[in-house]
Structure 1
Amino acid sequence: MPRVIGIDIPEKKRLEIALTYIYGIGRTLSNEILAKLGLNPDMRAAELSQDDIAKLNSLLQAEYVLEGDLRRQVQNNIKRLIGIHAYRGTRHRAGLPVRGQRTRTNSRTRKGRRKTVANKKK
């Protein structure tokens, strides 16, 4: 498996897809990076030469915020929102949807499994 900025990317996948295994790189950014380096997006990751990997590493480290730094940046942004008592910060703290979704139904991903409540006696 080729290692790009410390991440093993799958060698059997197309290069365009293999780069998306790096946190912070999606399909659009992957294609942009490959165009900058002049690499074929259809070639397999196993076909990368050491020279190509070195070019890829230097480009990613110089121009993009990825992996650990990006995760840290996102967590710091969330901590900042919580610290200044912003509405979005309180939603993060409470484990509820942050972007205005309804919570009467749905939102199970954020709220967790349902807790059943007994019926009220008449």
Structure 2
Amino acid sequence: MPRLSGVDVPDSKRLDISLRYLYGIGPVNVLVLLKEAKLAPEKRAHELTSEEISRLQKIIDNMKVEGDLRKYVAQNISRLKEIGSFRGSRHSKGLPARGQRTRSNARTKRGKRVTIGALKKEVQAKVDASKKEAEKKEAKK
């Protein structure tokens, strides 16, 4: 199993599929990468020689992948939050940032919801009491 940029690449799969295991390398980047390294996409990862692996590694080192790319994306999001942009506020609230509707969808982004439905009187009284306490705290501030 060849190791590129700290990631174990599966050796039984084709190169164009196995290189996608690296964060930041997708279908288009793989084809460009393989063309630059002069490798066939049909070739399996376990068939690579050490020289071919080093060629791939040199090209990948020039790209933003794995930790560098994750850090870059995180810095962009934090910059958006700092400047107070709308997108930054959506990121900090945990909501979709690109205009998708949230009334009926966006469950993945907003998280799992617990449905209340029909409650017993005791449980309803507890929920009401906690709401009143929260309102009192806000009024004091």
- Identify the TM-score tier after normalising by the shorter chain: over 0.9
Query: What displacement does 1:59 show?
Result: 1.1
Alignment of 1:1-122 (within 5 A): 1-62=1-62, 64-117=63-116
1:117: how far off? 4.7
User: Runs of at least 4 residues of structure 1 off by over 6 A?
Assistant: none
In 2, the alpha carbon distance for the partners of 1:96 and 1:116 equals 19
How many percent identity over aligned positions? 47
Shift of 1:116: 2.5
1-structure distance, mates of 2:56, 2:64:
14
Ranges in structure 2 where 5+ consecutive residues have no aligned partner: 119-141
Offset of residue 60 of structure 1: 1.1
The structure with higher relative contact order (CA 8 Å, sep 6+) is 1
1:109 shift after superposition = 0.3
- Tell me the SS of whatever aligns to 2:114: coil
For residues 89-113 of structure 1, give each alpha carbon's deviation from its aligned partner in whole angstroms, at most 9, with x where no partner exists.
Answer: 1100000111100000010001111
Could you say what secondary structure the match of 2:24 adopts? coil
- Give TM-score, length-normalised by structure 1: 0.92
Deviation readout 1:61-108 (Å, 9 max, x if unpaired)? 12x111100000000000000111110011000001111000000100
> Quick check: which one's helix share is greater?
2
Three-state SS of the structure 2 residue aligned to 1:89 is helix
Give the Cα separation in 2 of the matches to 1:116 and 1:101. 23
Aligned to 2:124: none
Residue 118 (structure 1) shift:
5.0
Report the CA distance between 1:115 and its aligned residue. Answer: 3.1
* CA RMSD across the alignment: 1.1
Count of residue correspondences: 118
